[in-house]
Amino acid sequence: MQSKEKVIIRQYPKAVFFYPTFLVALFIMISVNAGFAADKLAGAVFCLTFGFNFLVVAVEFTKNLFINMMIGFTTLIFCGLWLKGIYPGLFARLLSLLAEIDLTMSADFYAFMTFTFAGAFILILIEARFEYCEITSNELILHSGFFADVKRYPAPSLRYEQSINDVFESLLLRSGKLKLFIAGEKEPVVLENVPFIKRKFAALDDILSRTEVKVVDNGVKPSA
């Protein structure tokens, strides 16, 4: 497999994790235009997806928190089964209460949400085209802003580390945090929410393991 000559690393804001909500809104909008009704089920699916996305953006679900949540969820299931044995009609009553909740939204609402998210994602992608990190075997280049501000650093002395702190962010985009420690700089360059970070980290290992050596011909022939 041919090695890459450079690695491009881009970071994204947490808003990118709302893409499941965007996809659900887009699907419902297309379904409505195809003749299906935007009913209570569609509203429930949209609200549950949005609620999940909001929690992912608002809370950092570390591994310890995720494990504790799974333990708590399992405990709730066993408590529910225990209560079902004591109060046989409890679940039926809860289901009837949930069925009375009406989350029906209009077709215009789903169209509005679809185009709002689409517009935001387009702006994020445009910004990412101008804010990125470029790494070759000899040089680290930081591109910043629409006016193409550039900072260059030597790459051979570069140290770097990855961290994947949020379980759900890793599941959604395989994303994580990348820290670049530049020789002579007090603070590291921190890139948040780097998608497919393990793939980027492997690419960095590959390209920084090679050092480009230029041979200059000065016209002097070696003596016999």
Residue extents of the structural domains in the chain: 7-13+130-208, 14-126
What integer pLDDT is reported at residue 212 of this predicted model?
47
Confidence of residue 109 (pLDDT cuts 50, 70, 90): very high
pTM of the model: 0.75
143 within 8 A of 134, measured Cβ to Cβ: yes
| pLDDT at position 168 over 50 | yes
CA-based max dimension of the chain:
101
| pLDDT at position 211 over 70 | no
Average pLDDT, the chain: 82
**Helix/strand/coil percentages in the chain, nearest 5:** 50, 15, 30
Model confidence pLDDT, tens digit, residues 9-46: 999 999 999 999 999 999 999 998 887 877 888 888 99
Specify the CATH number for 7-13+130-208; select among 3.40.50, 3.30.70, 2.30.29, 2.60.40: 2.30.29
Confidence of residue 189 (pLDDT cuts 50, 70, 90): confident
- The dihedral through the CA atoms of 39, 42, 44, 50 has a sign that is negative
What does the alpha-carbon distance between residue 132 and residue 143 come to, in Å, rounded to a whole number? 5
What integer pLDDT is reported at residue 219 of this predicted model?
53
pLDDT above 70: percentage of residues in the chain: 83
Crossing angle of helices 40-58 and 19-33, rounded to 10°: 160
What integer pLDDT is reported at residue 20 of this predicted model?
94
| pLDDT at position 100 over 60 | yes
